[in-house]
Chains A and B, each alone.
Chain A
Amino acid sequence: MTEFLPLSEAIAKHVPDGASVALEGFTHLIPFAAGHELIRQGRQQLHLIRMTPDLIYDQLIGMGAARRLTFSWGGNPGVGSLHRLRDAVEQGWPRPLELDEHSHAGMAAGYRAGAARLPFGTLRGYIGTDLPKHNPNIRSVRCPYTGEELATVPALNPDVTILHAQRADRRGNVAIEGIVGAQREAGLAAKMLIVTVEEIVDELPPAMNGVLLPHFTVGVVSHCPGGAWPSYAQGRYSRDNDFYLRWDDIARDRGHFTEWMERHVRGTSDHRGFLESLRRVAA
């Protein structure tokens, strides 16, 4: 049975310190509200997993919530660096961060294997790159049929995956539209799946070829309108490209970053409060 919980209770109940956590969503539907709740509740020592850390992991890393990062591309899309990620890797601030670094194709294979409960994913990949020299998780296997050497990555099975979606129904079926990234695979790979949604409806129309996570794969649904901002929810609100540009300034300086996070994330009680605090600044 899917539980319906407020986001704060979902995080308190299902995400302990030290957990491996994947907040997925490729540019679209990034679960920012859930990331902020992890920060408000002061989670520590997390193993963060995400193809593109994006601003949400820049924030978690800068607030000292992470000990390890599994990722494949760590920039601010279209803008430049993630300054808090860089500071953690280059200077160990606010604490050192272990890296488990992959390519997109490798991480996608890891999620697919995890979703299928296979021990590893395989791909014709990591060719002509130094990555395997620095990441012992990237190995190889000989194909028993052709003899070809193929790259392998361990299955990714996060303790908890958190996604954001447009809609869920009252049974806990979840519907996602637009760019889906590796959300379906990351969701099915998890031991516990929490989904924040824009809207809960009595009944979803037949999904046909749209992405639907059926209720028996979904542990918790939390109603959280606007929960993907400053990323976006197709059909609801657009990506706030201007905020992604402004983040470059906010995150560049340790003090400025900490002040912003204290004021807007730790200083508010929930996602609505967070958005209202930003609206007051803009007004």
Chain B
Amino acid sequence: MSDYSRDEMMTVAAARMLWDGCVCFVGIGLPSAACNLARLTHAPGLVLIYESGTIGTRPTVLPLSIGDGELAETAACVVPLPDIFSDYLQAGRVDVGFLGAAQIDRLGNLNSTVIGPYAKPKTRLPGAGGATEIAAHAKQVFIVMKASPRSFVAALDFQTSGGHFEGRGKSGARGGGPTVVVTDVGILKPQPGGELALVAVYPGIPVEGARAAIGWKLAVGPRLETIDAPTMHELATLRALEARTIAAHREPVRLPI
């Protein structure tokens, strides 16, 4: 396949990391696209949990919000939101939690709260939502973020969710933290000590191209792989999913009067 976007490469690369039967805590946007692509291709038994309380959901279109009716209608069950966080996530029943953020540092700590000081922010972002406890308790965390020096930073303005921060082992976090960061310029993984290093690149994007998009001096791992380009089947499935989604969201809703 020659003609695909960087976003498509990134989504496909993230989807390939999920395995059949994996219990996956999903967020909206790219993670939701990657998880549903995996479910529609190599991992039909993937169990998707959205924080709104839907477990084992199989949406035919991607939701715009975390609580679209589509998610409830296609779920194996719908439970109260406090149960999701307490009895599923905190209890250690989630294999993979997907996260993105406005900023990430070299240890995989994330900021989705503020740019600038907390009390007088330059930009107020939405905040933690489920992220803090997903980062703590999912067995593994997959981070998906487009790379730029503004978002891959030497120091966070605020730490919303913990990666491989000092003291994680004794912090009460049940999960192991981030195991991979999928970007649009390549794939990073934590090395011993927790620092993220480049471990894989995509076709056509050289190591220097990836390094230029990261705001700290990015180390390169001991073995550098090249990820296969998306297959025809992966691209066709992803594009059909996105086309269905756009059509569904364009459908006008009648006012309830």
Q: A residues within 8 Å of B by Cβ?
A: 26-28, 51-52, 71-75, 77-79, 81-82, 85-86, 89-90, 101-105, 108-109, 111-112, 123-131, 134, 148-150, 178-182, 184-185, 211, 225-226, 229, 232-234, 236-244, 272, 275-276, 278-279, 282
Contacts and interface: CB of A to CB of B under 8 A. Distances in A.
Q: Nearest 9 pairs between A and B by C-beta?
A: A128-B162, A27-B67, A75-B126, A226-B256, A73-B129, A77-B65, A108-B82, A105-B85, A78-B64
Given A27-B52, A28-B52, 6 more contacts: A27-B66, A124-B90, A124-B172, A134-B119, A276-B257, A278-B255
Given A101-B127, A275-B255, A128 B67 contact: no
Contacts of A108: 81-82, 85-86
A103 B137 CA distance: 14
Given A77-B67, A185-B80, A127 B85 contact: no
B53 interface: yes
Which interface residue of B127, B172, B253 has the most chain A CB atoms within 10 A?
B127
B51 interface: yes
Interface stretch (B36-44, B163-171, B231-239): B163-171
Nearest to B157: A130
B193 interface: no
A125 B90 contact: yes
Given A27-B68, A77-B67, A104 B51 contact: yes
Nearest to A82: B126
A111 B82 CA distance: 9
B67 A104 contact: no
A78 B78 CA distance: 21
Contacts of A28: 52, 67, 69, 72
A40 to B, nearest CB: 18
Nearest to B50: A179
Contacts of A244: 64-65
Interface residues of B, number: 65
Nearest to A89: B124
A185 B83 CA distance: 11
B165 to A, nearest CB: 5
B242 to A, nearest CB: 14
B129 A237 contact: no
Interface string B214-257: 00000000000000000000000000000000000110111111
A272 B53 CA distance: 31
Which interface residue of B53, B131, B165 has the most chain A CB atoms within 10 A?
B53
Contact of B89 (A81, A105, A126): A105
Nearest to B248: A241
Contact of B129 (A89, A104, A126, A278): A104
Contacts of A131: 113, 128, 132, 160
B161 A128 contact: yes
A90 B124 CA distance: 7
Contact of A181 (B52, B125, B255): B52
Interface string B83-117: 00110011000000000000000000100010000
